[in-house]
């Protein structure tokens, strides 16, 4: 199959533009990133600069493959990352538009590669627990209700790709932050820092320039791991309670 690509090309601090490339004789069973590899090989062989894009595991685990394909974060398929999108999802002769994730908090480094360091700083603000991390404890030493364990695992499935931010019209990061906070707050080991964690992570999110939640559920629809907006509701509740407790106690739990 043959397709035409409209690819966003941009260097940091410069104005970007779309450029057209032809991808010829694509195997329908190759992944979208493998197709880009072949296009880059042709560009390199012809002395042109290859397209810059991020990738690592190519198994839908690392969250690096942050591409907006035909206006959809990660592409047209449901609950898969860009690396799990295959050329059989498109038709021979299609024109495919490829852009980076768009967000004020995700500045473009080059072409399709964006800086998602804001996510790292949000995790650093609250992604810790104070319990001892020595040898592994017995499995039943700290009882955890199954419902809580299951919900924590659901939240921990977040790969931090940023598709929720790219899909949101306001560029909100609430789904990411709620998932990262919930997978610790739902477990007994994370309760000691619960208030501090929520206030610190939300505060960092705001400081990084992410927008407000639009409540359109676009984030949930774009998430390759199916993280639900239920976690956003939990984050809102936890944040409200933490704020009230901070005022009543007269202490700054986020410090």
User: How many angstroms separate the Cα of 191 from the Cα of each of 20, 121, 197, 247?
Assistant: 52, 21, 9, 19
**Total number of residues shown for the chain:** 255
- Residue ranges and CATH numbers for the domains of the chain are 3-110 (3.10.20.30), 116-249 (1.10.1060.10)
Q: 209-238, pLDDT tens digit by residue?
A: 999 998 999 999 999 999 999 999 999 999
Q: CB burial class (10 A; 0-12, 13-18, 19+) of residue 129?
A: middle
Instruction: Kindly state the helix (H) or strand (E) to which residue 18 belongs, with its residue range.
Output: strand 17-23
User: pTM of the prediction?
Assistant: 0.92
Express each pLDDT in 72-107 by its tens digit: 999 999 999 999 999 999 999 999 999 999 999 999
């Amino acid at each position: 199959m043959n397709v035409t690509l409209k690819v966003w090309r941009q260097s940091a601090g410069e104005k970007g533009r779309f450029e057209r490339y032809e991808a010829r004789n694509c195997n329908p069973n190759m992944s979208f990133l493998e197709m880009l590899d072949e296009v880059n090989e042709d560009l390199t062989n012809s002395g042109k600069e290859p397209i810059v894009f991020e990738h690592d595991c190519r198994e839908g685990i690392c969250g690096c493959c942050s591409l907006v394909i035909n206006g959809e974060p990660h592409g047209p398929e449901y609950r898969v990352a860009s690396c799990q999108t295959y050329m059989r999802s498109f038709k021979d002769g299609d024109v495919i538009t490829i852009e980076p994730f768009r967000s004020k908090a995700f500045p473009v480094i080059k072409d399709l590669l964006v800086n998602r360091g804001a996510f790292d700083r949000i995790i650093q603000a609250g992604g810790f627990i104070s319990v001892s991390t020595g040898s592994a404890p017995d499995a039943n030493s700290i009882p955890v209700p199954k419902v809580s364990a299951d919900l924590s695992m659901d939240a921990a499935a977040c790969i931090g790709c940023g598709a929720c931010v790219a899909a949101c019209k306001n560029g909100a990061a609430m789904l990411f932050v709620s998932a990262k906070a919930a997978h610790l707050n739902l477990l007994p080991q994370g309760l000691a820092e619960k208030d501090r964690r929520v206030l610190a992570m939300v505060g960092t999110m705001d400081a990084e320039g992410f927008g407000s939640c639009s409540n359109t559920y676009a984030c949930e629809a774009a998430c390759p791991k199916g993280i639900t907006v239920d976690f956003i509701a939990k984050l809102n509740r936890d944040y409200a309670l933490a704020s009230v407790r901070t005022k009543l106690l007269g202490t700054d739990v986020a410090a």
